[in-house]
Each structure stands twice: as structure tokens, then as C-alpha cells.
Amino acid sequence: MPPAPANLVVFDHPLIQHKLSYIRDRSLSHRPFRALLYQIAGLMVFEATRSFPTVEIDVDTPLERTRCRRLKDNGSSITVVPVLRSGLVMSEGILEMMPEARVGHLGLARDEHSLKPVTYLKRLPRDLAAGPVLLVDPMLATGGSASSALSILKAEGARDVRMLCLVASPEGIARLAKDHPDVWIYAAAVDRELNSVGYILPGLGDAGDRMYGTT
Ligand code: URA
């Protein structure tokens, strides 16, 4: 296994690990799968946003004026970008915590011949540079599509990009550390390896199929 890059946060938190253990269970159906994924994303975003910019403001409590901090632009310059389709549920859990954030969408599919990711949908706010960007994809497997997504976001102007995933592979982490060493990765777990067709082991199977009941 390659050495862990400095910019990786793995959530060794009892609540997250508890919920992840249910998500991994093959007998869990799509409805609780989505609910748990939504909750985990809400917990993870607490740490992933720790250094988000804030501004100081004065607030009048019923007793006196006091200095407080609020998210810069009230959170409206933050952008959450789910990779379709499996990033959608996590992005909803994140938005529960930051309802003012904008949402960009990226659809990436693997070209059958080149096996490289091809963008079939890109809808992003124009001024991505105005605030932090959270790229969301539950499975960081080969890192190919995540690397492409990060390149797209940077080409569109994003300067502070962080990646949130549920389960990462050592191979995917190594790929992002090489292609995007400036990007912080937040993962609930780093699993053992990829199998021959790019699934994470032990993993949880196909995240999109599991969450939408299309297995
Ligand atoms: N995508 C998934 O949904 N699962 C994996 O294990 C790898 C990629």
C-alpha cells in the first residue's frame, strides 16, 4: 500500500463507523441505505468544512450586542458538486447542514473503447472561485473519474476543492495524491484494494445500484 498522503482525513468516529457497518451489509435495502448515507455525509461535512472562511458580525442578543461568526456570503458561495448519480444522496445530506450552498452537477461515464471518463453533463455555477467546492462521490475506486472531475472543476476556476467520499481505495488515493496533491480527501474508510474490474474490496458493491434499488 502506498504511504498515506498528508491531505487525507479518515473518519475513525464511532457514529460514522456504526452507520457504515450497516451500509456495507448486503442485506440492507435501498431505503435505509440512502438514509444512512445521507446521515454520514452530514457528519463528515462537519470536519470537511472546518477551515471554510467566515466573517465577523455583530448580533444583538436580547441582552447585549456580541461578536459572532457566520459563513462568508452566508454560505452562498460554497458549491457542492455531486458526481452523478451516486453522489446525489451524500450531497443532500451535506445541504441539510449548509442549505445556502449552491449545487453543481457532473455526469461522467466511462467510454467503452478508451475506458476513459467522458463528461455527459456539466452544470456548474460560473464563479466557482468565489468559495470552497466540495466534490462528492461515495466510492473513490480507481480515482479516474474523480481525477477528471477535479480537473474540470479547476479548469472552471475552482481554487479550493475538497473531495468527500464514503469508501476509498489505496489506488484511488494514490491517483489523486499524484494528479491533485492540493486536494484534501475526506473518507469514512480506506479499504484494502480494488478487484480486477475496479470494485473496492471489501467495499459495499455498486453504490448507485445499492442506493437506488437497481441491483
Ligand atoms: N463504484 C462503486 O459503486 N463501487 C465500487 O466498489 C467501485 C466503484
What does the pLDDT look like over 3-47, one tens digit per residue?
Answer: 556 699 999 999 999 999 999 999 999 999 999 999 999 999 999
Question: CB neighbours of 113 closer than 8 A, spacing ≥ 6?
Answer: none
Eight-state DSSP code of residue 75: G
**From the CA of 177, how far away is ligand 1's center (Å)?**
19
- Does ligand 1 lie within 6 Å of residue 141's CB atom? yes
Q: Can you tell me which residue has the cell 474540470? A: 152
What is d(CA 176, CA 71) in angstroms, rounded to the nearest whole number? 28
Q: Is the pLDDT of residue 209 over 60?
A: yes
User: Could you give phi then psi for residue 159, rounded to 5 degrees?
Assistant: -110, -30
Q: What is the CATH number of domain 8-212?
A: 3.40.50.2020
**Which amino acid makes up residue 11?**
F
- Does ligand 1 lie within 6 Å of residue 212's CB atom? no
C-alpha grid cell, residue 51? 477551515
pLDDT, residue 134, reads 98
Q: Hey, which residues does 163 pair with through a beta bridge?
A: 135, 185
What is d(CA 195, CA 153) in angstroms, rounded to the nearest whole number? 29
Query: What is the value of pTM for the model shown?
Result: 0.95
CA distances from 140 to 110, 114, 189 (A): 15, 20, 10
pLDDT, residue 6, reads 67
Helices (H), the chain: 14-24, 30-48, 88-97, 144-155, 170-179, 207-212
Domain ranges of the chain: 8-212
**From the CA of 15, how far away is ligand 1's center (Å)?**
23
- Does ligand 1 lie within 6 Å of residue 136's CB atom? no
What is d(CA 92, CA 85) in angstroms, rounded to the nearest whole number? 12
- Does ligand 1 lie within 6 Å of residue 206's CB atom? yes
